[in-house]
């Protein structure tokens, strides 16, 4: 497996037990791909956390019917998932 201009080698040190477990799962010839996918997944998760942190509390001063309590909001989401057409109706009513 060679590297092209879009790839770069990285020397990564990790516990031997972790390397052995990776090899047991995917084999030593697929280790790099496995680590790459794990890092990509972790970075996606980290970006989501950062995005969530950026909007936390942004609706605290907004009055949204049905969101008065956490329980009411959970029910609102549950109902919306069971009847998604209602969201379209709600949005259409709001825009008029």
Cα(23)–Cα(18) distance, integer angstroms: 9
Sequential DSSP letters for 33-66: HHHHHHHHHHHHHHHHHHHHHHHTTTTTTS--TT
The set of residues, in sequence order, having a beta carbon less than 8 Å from that of 76 and lying 6+ positions away, is 66, 67
Cα(51)–Cα(53) distance, integer angstroms: 5
Encode the chain (96 residues) as per-residue pLDDT tens digits: 566 788 999 999 999 999 999 999 999 999 999 999 999 999 999 999 999 998 888 877 888 777 888 898 899 889 888 888 877 777 777 666
pLDDT at 3: 66
Backbone φ/ψ region at 7: left (φ over 0), alpha (ψ -120 to 50), beta? beta
């Amino acid at each position: 497996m060679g590297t092209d201009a879009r790839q770069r080698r990285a020397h990564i040190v990790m516990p031997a037990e972790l390397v052995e477990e990776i090899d047991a799962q995917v084999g030593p010839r697929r280790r790099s791909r496995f680590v790459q996918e794990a890092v990509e997944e972790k970075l996606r998760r980290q970006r989501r956390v950062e995005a969530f942190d950026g909007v936390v509390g942004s609706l605290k001063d907004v009055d949204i019917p049905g969101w008065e309590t956490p329980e009411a909001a959970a029910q609102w989401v549950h109902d919306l998932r069971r009847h998604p057409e209602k969201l379209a109706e709600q949005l259409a009513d709001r825009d008029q």
